[in-house]
Every structure is written in structure tokens, then in C-alpha cells.
């Protein structure tokens, strides 16, 4: 059984990154935008794991980094959802376009 | 001279009462603040009289000469080893005399105001200002150096400004206060330049040092200041004339007198204190203080004489035509100060030649009493009638007997009728003028006649005249007012008997004035003539004054309009200075200075208008820019790296 080449995995992670990017740009719902950010983070995770496995199989740094990112993503989700709830309380909406007070 | 240490309290006590009344006066109920101010002044007066007594009778005289003592002095600002500004106290004949005059008149005015200002909402503020004024005037009088005089000079100016504008709801009072302040400030510019010149050449600000260096004709400083010349006059002449300009501004000398009649907008007791008895004679005092230098320079003395004579005559003529009781008194003040100035101008240094100096100080002394009495009587009358205009008054002799009597005493005194005080001092001035310059003497005698005429014109039209005049609201003259009036009337009667030349003379050496009765006959005759003329014209209501006024036509109108001097000032300031200097300067300021700044600001605003749309508040737009930036940078790095 031959190994899947590295480029395939990179292709998947790139696709995931741009899907997240696209979602972040186009969705107006803040929850959906948060989900898109998770996608971007996970594409980075895939990159870390893949490079670790294919280029430096005897080392563990990439995997550790991935674990850190997952932890931080969880914390970030908690903070982001708290912000979204507060915004909802003051604006009665989770639409990002309604929160535009900080303009010229 | 340690026994004079307590003299420090004389200026400090009013300062203390100013601070007390100014900070806490509003919390004190009723007239308490007035009583505090009056009590403090009483203490100051007692101290001043003590000082004068000790100086004149006990300690002042050494070997038959009154010395200049400096009982107290400290360095306030030092510039260089030789030059420093000191604060201190000088004691000599004129400062001891002025201490008594200022504190006495101020005490009387404090007393009078207790009733006069009763019910005034800003009663305590008024007393605080009075205390401030008294402090500054006393500080001015005892100054040891020319810069200390300047500092207190300005303090006096500002308290005068505050008191003229006391009724600040009235636009005319505000305008008068501003006018007084600006005109005197303008004069003080000359004073400052004069001070700097004197200090530059003499190398010191101290009176004693300046006099010693400049009076010694061979000292290098004295040679330098007399040899340096500008436009044909020596630097000394210029310095003295400039100092005199400052003094003339404060003392309402022609042509800087225009502020004094307007200053009558202030409360009447204030006019009595500041604009009759004390502040306006500060100019005379200044010249007297610097007299050892003035007497050294004939050109400057000529200027003093000339200005004094013109002011005396001009003001007397104007006073004959005015109808506002306080304005008549204001012009008479100006005229009397003119007398003092001309007496200084005809005086020379030392002994018999210094008669004018003594006479001037004597007239200052007596004038302070009878003129403040006149003003306080006018205040009582205004209190009663509620009007300043003479046509609203008349027949008051029956209604206000005490005021009538006091006013009569003061009028006789200013007219120069013996044995009232004004006679003695005026006679001395005229005989000094007679010895020096016959023309000045002639004008002086003529002015004396005019003085008698306009004072009695005022007296007859206020207290007699209209036989059927009725008054509706009787405001009654309070007890404090009566006490003040009677005290001042007594002073006006007795102050003429002080043998002044024994105590005050230009060089400190007492001398004897022989009374020349023949010479004083002419002024008395002229005064009686003036009184008679006033009696004929104004004792009964008649049309005679109007007929005379009509016959004189142009002359009367010119005098009534105060010789158009105010109009001349307005013409010069409004037409020439405003149009010629003010407007171009304003144009440059508005179009060139401001224009540059406005253009820069407008450019910035326009630029920011162009790009401010980027800050839309839309998070996703920002992310888009960010991503575009990162992508652009990445491309740049990839393709330019090689």
C-alpha cells in the first residue's frame, strides 16, 4: 500500500483554508464566521501534522503545536461567543453589518 | 531707626482686611464687613498719626534738618549686585504727611460708605476693593525705590478700575472704567520708559542712590545722562518728562485728563477717595518724590509748570459750564491738581527757592480734606435727590442743614476765602508763582476767580435757587455719613493753620514764610468777585445765566463740549489709528496669518474626506483589505526576492 503523497494532503488543507476564508468574507452571521475561523485553524493543523509526518518523522514538535492550537481555538471560541452574546444583547442581532459604530 | 518698625503694619493691615473681606466677606451678615474694614482703617490711621508725630516732633530732625529714613527694607528681586528691586519703607516729610492724609481720608470714606452703600448686594466686595486701594496707595506713598512705586502705581490703577466699574450692570460705568484704565496705562508706558532710562544711567532703582549719583554734577553717571541727547534734549530731560507723563496720566493733567470726568460713574465715596483726595495726587507726589532730580533740570520743570497751568485754567473754564454735580467737582479736582503741578514747576531746590514745593504739598494736604468733603456732600445730596443733574436740585439748604453747612465750608475753602484752609495753601502757591513767572501768576489768579465762581455756582444752584422744588422720596442722611462730614469739615477749617514750611521743604531744612498780606489781597478780591458773580446769577432762579450763555455762544459751547478734547481723541483713535494702523493690521492678520493656517487645515480636511471612506466600520471590509495586503506583499516578495 503506497503512501498518499504530501501534495494531496496540502491540497486538502489549502482547500479547507480558502473555504474558511470564503465563509469569513461572505457570511454575515457572526456564528458562521466563527465556524469559518475554525476551518482556517484546522487547515493549519493539517499542515503542521502533514509536514511533521512527511519531513521529520522522528520529531514531535508539529504534533505538539497542533495540540496547542486546538486548545487555543477552544478558548478563542469561548471568548468569541461571549462577545457575540454581548453584541446580541446590545444590538438585538448577530449580523456583523449591524455592528458598524466604529467608523469615521 | 528701629522705633519705626511698626510702620510696616500700616500698609499690611489693609492688605489683610482685603484678603479677609475678599475671601470670606460674602459669608458675613449685614454690614459686618464694613465695620471690619472701618476698624482696620481706624487702626491704620492711629498708627499713621503716631508715625507722623514721632517723625516730625521726635526723631525725624537731625541737626535741624529732616532726614530721609529707611526703617525697613528687604530685597525682593535681585538682578545683579548693583541692581535689585527692593520692597521697603521710606520715611520723610512728604511720605509721613501722605500717610496721614491717605489713611484719614480713607477712614472717613469707609465711615461714610457704611450708610451710603447700605443695602448694596455687593457690600463686602466694595469694602474689599476699598481696602485693596488703601493698601496700594499706602504702599505707593512709602516706596523706597522707583520700581516699588511703579508696582503700587499699577495696583492703585487696578483698584481704581474695579471701583469705577463697581456698578458693572451699567454700560457707561464699564466704559468709564475701561477708559480710565487704558488712558492711565498709556501714560504709564511713558513712566516705565522713564524709569528704565533713569535706572540705566544711574545704575540703581533706589531713590537715595539715584539722587546722590545724579545730583552730583561731576559723577560719571550724571555726565553720561546729561551729555546723551535726543532731538535736542538731554537724556535726563527725556527721562523726567516721560516719568512726568506717567504722573500726569494718573493726575489727570492735560491732555491725559479725559478719563477723570468719566470716572465719576463709580460710587460717590469712591470718587471722594480715589478721584479727589488720594490717587489723583499720586502724580504730584511722584514729582515731589523725584524733586531733587527735577529741580536739577530746568527744561523738565518748565514742562511741569506749563502743563500744570494749562490744566488748571482749562479745567476751571470747563467746570463753569458743566451741569452734572460730580463732573463739576471732577474738573475742579483737575484744576486744583494743576495748581499743585505748577507750584512744583516754579519751585527750585533748597530754602526760600523751594517755596513752591512746600506750597504744592500744602495744597495737596488741604485739598485732600476739602475736596473729599465736597464729594461726600455731593454723595449725600445725590443720595437724597437720586440724580446727578444740577437742574434736579435746589432749595436743599432747608432740607439738609448739616450737609449744606459742610458744603459751604468746603466751597469757601476751595475758593480761597480766609480763614479756611484753601486760602493759605493757594496763597502760598500764588506767591511762589509770583516770584518765578508773572504770566503763570496771572493765570493762577484768574483761575482762582473762576474756581470761586463755579464752586459757588454749584453751591447756589444746589442749595438755593428754585423756591418751589418738591422732593418725593426722602432718603435720609445716616449718622455715619454725618460723622464723616463733620470730621472732614473740621479738618478743612483747621488744616490751613499748620505751619507747613516748618515741616516740609524741598531739602528738609525748615524755613519761615513771611505772609505778605498785600499780595494775598488780589486773590481774595478775585475770589470774592467770583462768589458775587455766582450769587447774582444763581441765587434766585432766573434767565440770566442762559442769556449770558447765549451771548457767549461759540465759547460757551466749546467749553460745554470740554473743548472737544474727547472728540479729538476719538478722531485720532477711530479715524487715524483704527483706519490707518488697526485695519491694515487686522487685514494682514485675517488674510495672511490666518489665511496660511486656514489653507493648511482645509487641505488636510479635503484629503481626509477623500480617504475616510475606508474606515467603514464593516469588519469584513477590513479583513478584505488585510488579506489583499498580505496577498500583495506575498506576491511582491515571491517575485522580487530573486
Q: What is the pLDDT of residues B154-203, one digit of tens each?
A: 999 999 999 888 888 888 888 888 888 988 888 889 899 988 888 888 77
CB contact under 8 A, A25 and B620: yes
Chain centroid to CA A58: how far? Answer: 27
> Quick one: average pLDDT of B90-102?
87
Query: Which residue bears the cell 527725556?
Result: B238
Q: How close A3 gets to chain B, by Cα (Å)?
A: 31
CB contact (8 A) between residue A21 and residue B616: no
Q: B65 phi and psi, to 5 degrees?
A: -125, 135
Structural contact between residues B471 and B384, judged by C-beta atoms closer than 8 angstroms:
yes
Residues 24-83 of A with CB under 8 A from B: 24-25
pLDDT digits (tens, 9 = 90+) for B439-489: 888 888 888 888 888 888 888 888 887 766 666 666 677 788 888 888 888
Fold of A6-91: Helix Hairpins (1.10.287)
Percentage above 90 pLDDT, chain B: 8
Cα gap B399→B464, rounded to integer Å: 11
Give the model's pLDDT for residue B1: 47
**Which residues in chain B are closer than 8 Å to A103, comparing Cβ atoms?**
615-618
In this prediction, residues B370-379 reach a mean pLDDT of 89
Task: Choose the mutation target among A96, A101, A103 for the interface with B, i.e. most B CBs under 10 Å.
Answer: A103
Helix B123-141 vs helix B9-24: crossing angle, to nearest 10: 160
The DSSP bridge pattern shows strands B229-230 and B233-234 to be antiparallel
Which among B329, B273, B282 has a CA at the least distance from the CA of B451? B329
Contact check, Cβ <8 Å, A96/B624: no
Task: Please give the average per-residue pLDDT across B261-283, as a whole number.
Answer: 86
Burial of residue B232, with CB atoms counted within 10 A of its CB: 0-12 exposed, 13-18 middle, 19 or more buried: exposed
Res B2: pLDDT: 55
More confident residue, B215 or B2: B215
Tens-place pLDDT, residues B399-430: 788 888 888 888 888 888 878 888 888 888 88
Residue bearing cell 462730614: B485
Task: Output the average pLDDT for chain B.
Answer: 84
Burial status of residue B77 (CB atoms within 10 A of its CB: 0-12, 13-18, 19 or more): exposed
Mean pLDDT of chain A: 91
pLDDT in tens, B428-448: 888 888 888 888 888 888 888
Beta carbons within 8 Å of B15's beta carbon, 6+ residues apart:
B131, B132, B135
Task: Name residues whose C-beta falls within 8 Å of residue B210's C-beta, 6 or more positions apart in sequence.
Answer: B146, B198, B199, B202, B204, B293
Q: Residue A100: which of B612, B616, B624 has the nearest Cβ? A: B616
pLDDT at residue B227 greater than cutoff 50: yes
pLDDT at position B494: 86
Burial class (CB in 10 A: 0-12, 13-18, 19+), B465: buried
Q: Is B124 exposed, middle or buried (0-12, 13-18, 19+ CB in 10 A)?
A: buried
- Residue B475 has a pLDDT of 65
pLDDT of residue B467: 65
Query: What integer pLDDT is reported at residue A9 of this predicted model?
Result: 93
- In the block, cell 452574546 appears at A85
Q: What tens digit of pLDDT does each residue of B552-574 get? A: 777 777 777 777 777 788 888 87
Instruction: Label residues B262-289 b or e (16+ Cβ within 10 Å = b).
Output: bbbbbbbbbbbbbbbbbbbbbbbbbbbb
At residue A49, the 3 state secondary structure works out as helix
Q: Which of residues 580-619 of B touch A (CB under 8 A)?
A: 612-613, 615-619
- Res B370 pLDDT > 50: yes
Do the chains contact at B617 and A96, CB–CB below 8 Å?
A: no
Q: Hey, are the CB atoms on A104 and B619 less than 8 Å from each other? A: no
The secondary element (H helix, E strand) that includes residue A94 is none
Residue B620's closest chain A neighbor by CA? Answer: A25
Whether the per-residue pLDDT at B506 is higher than 80: the answer is: no
What would the pLDDT profile of B288-327 be if each residue is shown by its tens digit?
888 888 888 888 888 888 888 988 888 888 888 888 888 8
Please give the C-alpha separations between residue B574 and each of B252, B263, B360, B563, B577, in angstroms, as whole numbers. Answer: 22, 21, 38, 18, 6
SS3 A3: coil
Check residue B469 and give its pLDDT.
Answer: 66
**What residues in A contact B619, CB-CB < 8 Å?**
96, 99
C-alpha cell, B501: 514750611
| Residue matched to cell numbers 533706589 | B206
What pTM was computed for the model? 0.77
DSSP B16: H
Residue, of B254 and B603, whose pLDDT is higher: B603
Give the domain ranges of chain A: 6-91
pLDDT digits (tens, 9 = 90+) for B299-309: 888 888 888 89
**What is the band of B596 on the pLDDT scale with cuts at 50, 70, 90?**
very high
Minimal Cβ distance to B615: which of A97, A99, A104: A104
Q: Is the ipTM, as predicted for this complex, more than 0.85? A: no
**Contact: A103, B615; criterion CB under 8 Å:** yes
Q: What Cα–Cα distance (Å) separates residue B493 from each residue in B94, B421, B423, B572? A: 21, 6, 10, 45
Q: Which residue of A has its CA nearest to B610?
A: A104
Task: For residue B255, say if its preceding peptide bond is cis, omega within 30 degrees of 0.
Answer: yes
* Mutation to test the A interface, candidates B605, B611, B616, B628, most A Cβ within 10 Å: B616
Contact across the interface for B617 and A101, Cβ inside 8 Å: yes
The cell numbers describing A8, all together, are: 494531496
Amino acid at each position: 500500500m503506497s503512501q498518499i503523497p504530501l501534495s494531496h494532503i496540502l491540497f486538502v488543507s489549502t482547500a479547507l483554508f480558502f473555504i474558511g476564508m470564503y465563509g469569513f468574507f461572505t457570511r454575515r452571521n457572526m456564528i458562521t464566521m466563527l465556524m469559518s475561523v475554525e476551518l482556517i485553524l484546522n487547515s493549519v493543523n493539517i499542515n503542521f501534522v502533514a509536514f511533521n509526518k512527511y519531513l521529520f518523522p522522528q520529531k514531535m514538535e508539529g504534533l505538539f503545536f497542533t495540540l496547542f492550537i486546538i486548545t487555543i481555538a477552544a478558548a478563542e471560541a469561548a471568548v468569541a461567543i461571549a462577545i457575540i452574546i454581548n453584541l446580541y444583547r446590545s444590538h438585538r442581532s448577530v449580523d456583523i453589518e449591524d455592528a458598524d459604530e466604529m467608523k469615521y | 531707626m528701629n522705633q519705626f518698625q511698626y510702620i510696616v503694619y500700616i500698609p499690611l493691615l489693609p492688605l489683610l482686611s482685603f484678603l479677609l473681606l475678599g475671601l470670606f466677606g460674602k459669608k458675613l451678615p449685614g454690614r459686618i464687613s464694613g465695620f471690619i474694614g472701618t476698624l482696620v482703617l481706624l487702626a491704620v490711621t492711629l498708627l499713621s498719626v503716631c508715625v507722623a508725630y514721632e517723625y516730625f516732633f521726635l526723631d525725624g530732625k537731625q541737626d535741624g534738618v529732616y532726614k530721609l529714613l529707611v526703617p525697613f527694607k528687604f530685597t525682593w528681586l535681585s538682578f545683579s549686585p548693583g541692581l535689585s528691586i527692593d520692597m521697603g519703607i521710606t520715611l520723610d516729610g512728604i511720605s509721613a504727611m501722605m500717610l496721614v492724609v491717605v489713611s484719614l481720608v480713607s477712614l472717613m470714606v469707609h465711615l461714610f460708605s457704611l450708610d451710603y452703600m447700605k443695602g448694596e448686594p455687593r457690600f463686602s466686595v466694595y469694602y474689599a476693593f476699598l481696602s485693596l486701594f488703601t493698601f496700594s496707595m499706602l504702599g505707593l506713598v512709602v516706596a523706597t525705590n522707583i520700581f516699588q512705586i511703579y508696582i503700587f502705581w499699577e495696583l492703585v490703577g487696578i483698584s481704581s478700575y474695579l471701583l469705577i466699574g463697581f456698578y458693572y450692570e451699567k454700560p457707561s460705568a464699564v466704559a468709564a472704567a475701561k477708559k480710565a484704565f487704558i488712558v492711565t496705562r498709556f501714560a504709564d508706558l511713558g513712566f516705565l520708559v522713564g524709569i528704565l532710562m533713569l535706572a540705566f544711567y544711574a545704575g540703581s532703582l533706589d531713590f537715595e542712590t539715584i539722587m546722590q549719583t545724579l545730583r552730583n554734577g561731576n559723577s560719571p553717571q550724571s555726565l553720561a545722562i546729561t551729555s546723551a541727547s535726543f532731538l535736542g534734549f538731554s537724556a535726563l530731560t527725556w527721562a523726567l518728562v516721560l516719568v512726568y507723563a506717567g504722573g500726569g496720566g494718573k493726575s489727570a493733567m492735560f491732555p491725559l485728563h479725559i478719563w477723570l470726568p468719566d470716572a465719576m460713574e463709580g460710587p460717590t465715596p469712591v470718587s471722594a477717595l480715589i478721584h479727589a483726595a488720594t490717587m489723583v495726587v499720586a502724580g504730584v507726589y511722584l514729582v515731589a518724590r523725584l524733586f531733587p532730580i527735577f529741580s536739577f533740570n530746568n527744561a523738565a520743570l518748565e514742562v511741569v509748570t506749563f502743563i500744570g497751568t494749562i490744566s488748571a485754567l482749562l479745567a476751571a473754564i470747563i467746570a463753569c459750564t458743566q451741569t452734572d454735580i460730580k463732573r463739576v467737582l471732577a474738573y475742579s479736582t483737575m484744576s486744583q491738581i494743576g495748581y499743585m503741578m505748577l507750584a512744583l514747576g516754579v519751585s527750585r531746590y533748597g530754602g526760600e527757592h523751594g517755596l513752591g514745593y512746600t506750597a504744592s504739598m500744602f495744597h495737596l494736604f488741604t485739598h485732600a480734606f476739602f475736596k473729599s468733603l465736597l464729594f461726600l456732600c455731593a454723595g449725600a445730596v445725590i443720595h437724597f435727590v437720586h440724580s446727578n443733574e444740577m437742574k434736579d436740585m435746589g432749595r436743599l439748604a432747608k432740607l439738609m442743614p448739616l450737609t449744606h453747612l459742610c458744603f459751604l465750608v468746603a466751597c469757601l475753602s476751595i475758593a480761597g476765602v480766609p480763614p479756611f484752609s484753601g486760602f493759605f495753601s493757594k496763597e502760598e502757591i500764588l506767591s511762589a508763582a509770583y516770584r518765578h513767572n508773572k504770566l503763570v501768576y496771572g493765570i493762577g489768579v484768574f483761575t482762582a476767580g473762576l474756581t470761586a465762581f463755579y464752586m459757588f455756582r454749584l453751591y447756589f444752584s444746589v442749595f438755593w435757587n428754585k423756591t418751589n422744588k418738591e422732593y418725593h422720596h426722602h432718603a435720609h442722611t445716616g449718622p455715619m455719613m454725618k460723622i464723616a462730614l463733620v470730621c472732614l469739615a473740621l479738618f478743612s477749617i483747621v488744616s490751613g493753620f499748620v505751619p507747613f514750611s516748618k515741616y516740609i521743604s524741598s531739602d528738609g531744612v525748615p524755613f519761615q514764610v513771611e505772609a505778605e498780606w498785600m499780595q494775598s489781597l488780589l486773590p481774595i478780591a478775585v475770589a470774592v468777585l467770583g462768589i458775587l458773580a455766582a450769587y447774582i446769577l444763581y441765587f434766585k432762579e432766573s434767565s440770566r445765566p442762559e442769556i449770558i450763555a447765549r451771548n457767549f455762544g461759540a465759547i460757551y459751547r466749546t467749553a460745554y463740549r470740554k473743548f472737544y478734547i474727547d472728540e479729538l481723541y476719538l478722531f485720532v483713535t477711530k479715524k487715524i489709528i483704527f483706519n490707518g494702523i488697526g485695519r491694515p493690521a487686522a487685514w494682514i492678520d485675517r488674510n495672511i496669518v490666518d489665511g496660511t493656517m486656514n489653507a493648511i487645515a482645509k487641505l488636510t480636511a479635503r484629503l481626509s474626506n477623500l480617504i475616510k471612506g475606508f474606515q467603514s466600520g464593516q469588519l469584513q471590509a477590513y479583513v478584505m483589505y488585510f488579506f489583499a495586503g498580505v496577498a500583495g506583499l506575498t506576491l511582491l516578495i515571491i517575485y522580487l526576492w530573486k
